[in-house]
Amino acid sequence: MAEDWNRTALLVIDMQKDFIEDWSPVALKGGKDIVPNVIKAVEVARQRGILIVWVVRENDPLGRDVELFRRHHYTAGKVGPANKGSEGAELVDGLVIKEGDYKLVKTRFSAFFATHLHSVLQGAGINNLVVTALFVGVQTPNCIRQTVFDAVSLDYQPVTVIVDATAAATPDVHQANMFDMKNIGVATPTLQEWSESKA
């Protein structure tokens, strides 16, 4: 129902070149495999009039706003991941921010931590979240999981993670995290199932 889609937001998290492209030292192996599904999820969201929120990392070139365990990527003149204004911070090819979309910059795993995402969603009348993107890095309980757990804590209902438009370091890690999220009431449809759903 259109009314339900008007209360839904699609969060596209960390679909940036530094986390996808082979030339990046922090790229997620297999990350490219989900790009077509993320593109399709965005297309479906646009057709339904769903608010698209592009959640991206844009870190200080000196790493001053990066988690302590990642700061070694920014030492001795290194260009760390997702430096603001760098090529690596750009969205991967095929994903474009359009008029009416919303771009949110974060510096930590959760899109809700120290950002104004909750206020933006409340202001737009959003209570349903659909999440698509990468589990970034070697440990999966990163950006997707942290954002999802925060969304559940903030009483967004339902919260949906499109299982084949997200990725992890290995299929086993991906499945384990999906299992954990299902256990807190998160829906985990495939892209096809979500695309064919009525609301």
CATH code at position 150: 3.40.50.850
66 in a structural domain = no
Query: In the chain, pLDDT over 70 holds for what percent of residues?
Result: 93
77 in a structural domain = no
pLDDT on residue 138: 32
Can you name the residues that pair with 102 across neighbouring β-strands? Answer: 53
Q: Is the pLDDT of residue 68 over 90?
A: no
Q: Which residue has the tokens 């979240």?
A: 129
Name the more confident of 96 and 140: 96
70 in a structural domain = no
Indicate the number of domains in the chain.
1
Q: Is the pLDDT of residue 95 over 90?
A: yes
76 in a structural domain = no
pLDDT on residue 134: 46
Range of the domain at 38: 2-56+89-196
Closest CA to 100 of 124, 119, 118, 127: 124
| Residue 192 neighbours by CB distance under 10 Å | 12
> How far is the C-alpha of 194 from the C-alpha of 199, rounded, in Å?
9
97 in a structural domain = yes
| Residue 62 neighbours by CB distance under 10 Å | 13
> How far is the C-alpha of 37 from the C-alpha of 114, rounded, in Å?
29
pLDDT on residue 133: 60
Categorize the per-residue pLDDT at 54 as very low, low, confident or very high, splitting at 50, 70 and 90. very high
Closest CA to 127 of 2, 5, 1: 5
Q: For the ranges 29-43, 60-74, 183-197, which has the lowest average pLDDT?
A: 60-74
Q: What is the mean pLDDT of the chain?
A: 88
> How far is the C-alpha of 195 from the C-alpha of 121, rounded, in Å?
22
| Residue 196 neighbours by CB distance under 10 Å | 10
Q: Any residues with CB less than 8 A from the CB of 61 and at least 6 apart, and which?
A: 74, 79, 80, 83, 84
Categorize the per-residue pLDDT at 135 as very low, low, confident or very high, splitting at 50, 70 and 90. very low
Q: Any residues with CB less than 8 A from the CB of 104 and at least 6 apart, and which?
A: 53, 54, 55, 56, 111, 115, 116, 117, 120
Q: Which residue has the tokens 């599904």?
A: 37
Q: What is the pLDDT of residues 8-20, one digit of tens each?
A: 999 999 999 999 9
Mean pLDDT of 31-53: 94
pLDDT on residue 199: 67
Q: Which two tokens stand for residue 14?
A: 């960390």
52 in a structural domain = yes
pLDDT on residue 162: 92
Closest CA to 131 of 116, 113, 149: 149
178 in a structural domain = yes
116 in a structural domain = yes
